[in-house]
Amino acid sequence: MNPKVKSVRAVEDYKLIIEFSNNEFKEFDVTPFLDKGIFTELKNKSYFKQVKVAFGSIEWPNKQDFCKDTLYLLGKSISTPLMLQTNKTTASHITNGSK
């Protein structure tokens, strides 16, 4: 059984950075789905960014979704995403600067 989605963030080029319950991070490219049925609405970048975790997977306001298995199996494994590394560095600088 594949792990559940713990967090999701929409990034450039219709990609999602997903953290799973086993603490793995994967990048999922939504581009191949954008011309298919209900997923065409995801071409609107502001709408695309409204993705959220729901029931161990992800969904958008109008109920477009991907199951956790699709996200996990088709997602590309990545190390800790740059955005999280940046946040840690920033937090470290703030902590060190306040001493």
Residue 21 and residue 14: Cα distance in Å, rounded? Answer: 23
Q: Does 8 have pLDDT greater than 50?
A: yes
Confidence at residue 11, expressed as pLDDT on a 0 to 100 scale: 96
How far is 20 from 38, CA to CA, in rounded Å? 25
> How is residue 65 written in tokens?
């979704």
Alpha carbons 93 and 55: distance in angstroms, whole number: 36
> 26-40, 55-69, 82-96 — which is least confidently predicted?
82-96
- Side-chain-facing half-sphere of 82: CA atoms under 13 Å: 2
Asked if pLDDT for residue 48 goes beyond 60, the answer is yes
The residue that leads in pLDDT, 80 or 56, is 56
Q: Which domains does the chain have, with CATH numbers?
A: 5-97 (3.30.2020.10)
Q: Is 35's pLDDT higher than 50?
A: yes
Mean pLDDT of 52-58: 98
DSSP code, position 6: E
Question: Residue 1: what pLDDT?
Answer: 86
- H or E element at residue 15: strand 15-20
